[in-house]
Amino acid sequence: MYNSVDELQAALGEQDYIAERGLSVAIYLALKTGKPLFLEGDAGVGKTEIAKVLSTALETDLIRMQCYEGLDVNTAVYEWNYAGQILHMRLMENEGLGREAMESELFSERFLLKRPLLQAIEQSRDGKAPVLLIDELDRSDEEFEAFLLELLSDFQISIPELGTIAAKAPPVVVVTSNRTREIHDALKRRCLYYWIDYPHFHKELQIVERKAPDVPAMLARQITAFIQDMRSMELFKRPGIAETLDWTAALIALDQNELSLETVQDTLGVILKYQDDVEMLDPTTIQNMIDRAKVEAQRA
């Protein structure tokens, strides 16, 4: 894959992902050792994007499993096509097939609906190992988290009717969590861990300039400084990098060259997603933040 951390970091940069040294080392070791990479951090700091960038850089498929409360094996791993089985069973009954022959037909891969986890295992058997993204694991139940232990330990899945299906080469696994609840130690022990924090000013400015090359240079600095200032406030949900980029795109669409009170007020809904947070930013507060952002932009 990659012969050094520097080579990997350069490859991520080519995909417009700015990764600090510590994160690059964690990704490199995950690729070299075959262990899953467990990423924690607030929503919008770029955890999911890592899996997307890796799949592009490695020229392989991305298989994404979005976690949610109530997620079960049928949705995540496999289930049987019961409607198809019933129809086929009636056809076999008309042909007079015996019970044993019918069971062999009904519980074959022909009627197996493969979900993301099984797809990742099977693709690693048939060709190039994919990148498997298990996104926002903290949103799922602890029962599903326990099920993942077999997968992340041995990269195999047991199907009672078919036996055990094991990967020849493990997929590249990226597990993310927004830390709305603690993930069990047993799962963390099977992974390499890295916490992704909000970026500092210069890193976020680099991201803005990479992702929005049309943004005026001074506006990019002002946007970055304003967002950095906003994250220091006691907000219910601080804006992530995703919100920074969305706001940049909005200001470009409005043909803005610098921040103004009216424009910021009109576009607050792009950055903040809770009314309580919006109400914290009265006109005086916003103007003071704009003034500080302009001073910081001049220094940068």
Task: Tell me, yes or no, whether 276 and 150 share the same domain.
Answer: no
Task: Tell me, yes or no, whether 209 and 259 share the same domain.
Answer: yes
Q: Which tens digits make up the pLDDT trace of 57-89?
A: 999 999 999 999 988 888 898 888 888 888 878
Q: Of 163, 195, 227, which closes a domain?
A: 195
The rounded percent of the chain whose pLDDT value lies above 70 is 97
Where in the sequence is the domain holding 267, given as residue range(s)?
201-299
Q: Which tens digits make up the pLDDT trace of 164-178?
A: 888 888 899 999 999
Task: Tell me, yes or no, whether 136 and 105 share the same domain.
Answer: no
Is the separation of the CB atoms in 229 and 264 below 8 Å?
Answer: no
Task: Tell me, yes or no, whether 259 and 287 share the same domain.
Answer: yes
What pTM does this model have?
0.87
Q: Of 86, 114, 142, which closes a domain?
A: 114
Q: Of 137, 165, 195, which closes a domain?
A: 195
Task: Tell me, yes or no, whether 31 and 169 share the same domain.
Answer: yes
Task: Tell me, yes or no, whether 169 and 20 share the same domain.
Answer: yes
Q: Which tens digits make up the pLDDT trace of 226-272?
A: 999 999 999 999 999 999 999 999 999 999 999 999 999 999 999 99
Task: Tell me, yes or no, whether 291 and 280 share the same domain.
Answer: yes
pLDDT of residue 84: 87
Q: Which tens digits make up the pLDDT trace of 288-300?
A: 999 999 999 999 7
Q: Which tens digits make up the pLDDT trace of 143-200?
A: 888 888 878 888 888 888 888 888 888 899 999 999 999 999 999 999 999 999 999 9
Q: By mean pLDDT, which of 47-56, 137-146, 188-197, 282-291 is the weakest?
A: 137-146
Task: Tell me, yes or no, whether 109 and 131 share the same domain.
Answer: no
Query: How many domains does the chain divide into?
Result: 3
Give the helix/strand (H/E) hosting 133: strand 131-135
Is the separation of the CB atoms in 41 and 195 below 8 Å?
Answer: yes
pLDDT of residue 292: 97
CA nearest neighbour of 230 among 212, 216, 247, 207: 247
Task: Tell me, yes or no, whether 128 and 252 share the same domain.
Answer: no
Task: Tell me, yes or no, whether 159 and 49 share the same domain.
Answer: yes
Q: Which residue has the tokens 């009314």?
A: 275
- Assess whether pLDDT exceeds 80 at residue 137: yes
Q: Which stretches does DSSP call E strand in 6-56?
A: 37-40
What contacts 89, CB < 8 A, 6 or more positions away? 102, 106
Task: Tell me, yes or no, whether 99 and 164 share the same domain.
Answer: no
Task: Tell me, yes or no, whether 157 and 293 share the same domain.
Answer: no
Residues 171-188: b if buried by 16+ CB within 10 A, e if exposed: bbbbbbbbeeeebeeebb
